[in-house]
Amino acid sequence: MKLRVERDVLAEAVAWAVRGLSQRPPVPVLAGVLLEATEDGLTLSAFDYEVSAKVTVDADVEEPGTVLVLGRLLADISKSLPHKPIELVSEGSKVQVTCGSAKFSLQSMPTGEYPTLPENPEPTGVIGGDVFTQAVAQVSVAADRGDTLPILTGVRIEVQGNKLTLLATDRYRLAMREVLWNGGDENAEYAALVPARTLDSLAKALGAAGSVSLSLSGASTGSGLAGFEAGQRRMTTRLLDGDYPKVTSLFPTSVDTTAVVETAMLVEAAKRVSLVAERNMPVRLRFGDDAVRIEAGTGEDAQASETFEARIEGPELEIAFSPQFLLDGLGVVGTKYVRLGFTQPTRPAVLSGQDELDGEADDSYRYLIMPVRFAN
């Protein structure tokens, strides 16, 4: 193998490909990044049995070939090289990296032992990168981080023609986002359960620019994979198995009290008062008289409270939430105002976005949050 590549191009591609690599891979070769030089350019691949990442960049290939070198090492090296073209040459069991006056000689690992990367399955639809990134961030925040129920660590993506519904819950909150995509087949109906952590980092990795092709039919086609492509970047991830609980019915059909507040104000206030909330203790909110009062702490310890304007309809209500769960939802709603809907202090509340104080609620994103109950 012999090729020449721009320093920034290589540095960015390697950094992108190895970002998901484990520090302690199950087998040593998985610490590697596979470099394949063909007439189409240079393709870099990384794989950890769960997720595969593959990116092709322009390169001036003199001799095609394939080598496997330590991924993180190559990423560190290319990042530190001067801004000059880089030459990669394989010589026996070594790979020479030359850039200006800098020379590195890397041990190449046996490519024969490297697992075959899964092929990206055929895309089933296309979505804007910005919409996809936001939707994934909005939903994955509610996925379970524990390991008691593996299916809850996933984001369920339901396809109904041109509509995608993303869902995640950890039993304390439930996030649901509906987006439009170009799904081709208008009658298509299928679903995929993608590990939330992977999906979140993958959506960030693919970036918000341009569009993303998704392949979500892996559960029905039997490949067990979901595929994602944005430009020259391609990723696959293993799907989770199992029947996702029917959760959409948890959203209340109607609410009695609604409150519209400025998102940033509620976020700031919740962060401030939660400073005095002991571990696992909630913040308490009271909605009434066109104001929301948020407070935390107990009589025996420090207390904090803050009151600000809110547009409230319906009966007064006092309710308590885990500050983290509340902030998670507020942090991803992405609109200037947030609308909160309640039935009772012991029943879940619905949070959704709203652009104008007097506008309509935007129900494309809904975050259902279960309150904290006091013992007495």
Partner 1 sequence: MILHIDMDAFYASASLIERPDLLGQPVIVGGAGRGVVLSATYEARRSGVSSGMPMGRARRLCPDAVVLAPDYDLYTQISGSIMHLFSQVTPLVEPISLDEAFLDVGGVCNGPESAAALGHELRDAVADEQGITCSVGVAPMKFVAKLASTSAKPDGLRLVRQDEVLDFLHPLPVEALWGVGASTQEKLHTLGLRTVGDIAHLPQRTLVRSLGQASGTTLHRLAWGHDERRVVPHEPERSIGSDETFGEDLDDPVLIKRHLLKLSDRVAARMRSAEVAGRTVVLKVRFSDFTTITRSRTLSEHTDVSREVYAVAAQLFDALGLQRARIRLVGVRVQGLTDRRLTSRQGKLGEREFGWQEADRAVDRASARFGAGIVRPASLVG
Contacts with partner 1 by CB under 8 A lie at 169, 171-174, 247, 250, 280-282, 298, 300, 320, 322, 325, 346, 348, 368, 370-376
If the CB atoms of residues 223 and 257 are measured against partner 1, the closer one turns out to be 257
The CA distance from 230 to 351, in Å, is: 31
Largest CA distance in the chain: 78
Of 192, 152, 193, residue with least CA distance to 174? 152
If the CB atoms of residues 116 and 280 are measured against partner 1, the closer one turns out to be 280
If the CB atoms of residues 15 and 281 are measured against partner 1, the closer one turns out to be 281
Length of the chain: 376
Tokens of 209: 């620019």
- Token pair 């990168």 in the structure block, residue: 129
CB of 347 to partner 1, least distance (A): 9
If the CB atoms of residues 325 and 337 are measured against partner 1, the closer one turns out to be 325
If the CB atoms of residues 21 and 370 are measured against partner 1, the closer one turns out to be 370
32 phi/psi in degrees, rounded to 5: -90, 160
- Which residues make beta-bridge pairs with 94? 91, 107
CB of 372 to partner 1, least distance (A): 5
Sheet holding 317-321: strands in order across?
303-309, 291-297, 283-288, 317-321
Which runs of E-coded beta strand occur in 181-253? 189-195, 211-215, 225-230, 233-238
CB of 346 to partner 1, least distance (A): 7
Tokens of 321: 């939430």
Torsion over CA of 78, 80, 82 and 84, rounded to 10 degrees? 10
- Token pair 């067990």 in the structure block, residue: 224
Q: Could you say which DSSP state residue 360 is in? A: -
If the CB atoms of residues 102 and 275 are measured against partner 1, the closer one turns out to be 275
If the CB atoms of residues 35 and 277 are measured against partner 1, the closer one turns out to be 277
CB of 373 to partner 1, least distance (A): 5
CB of 196 to partner 1, least distance (A): 17
Tokens of 299: 């009589």
The CA distance from 49 to 117, in Å, is: 9
The CA distance from 26 to 17, in Å, is: 18
Strand 189-195 and strand 291-297: pairing?
unpaired
If the CB atoms of residues 300 and 360 are measured against partner 1, the closer one turns out to be 300
CB of 103 to partner 1, least distance (A): 53
CB of 295 to partner 1, least distance (A): 14
Q: Could you say which DSSP state residue 311 is in? A: E
CB of 369 to partner 1, least distance (A): 9
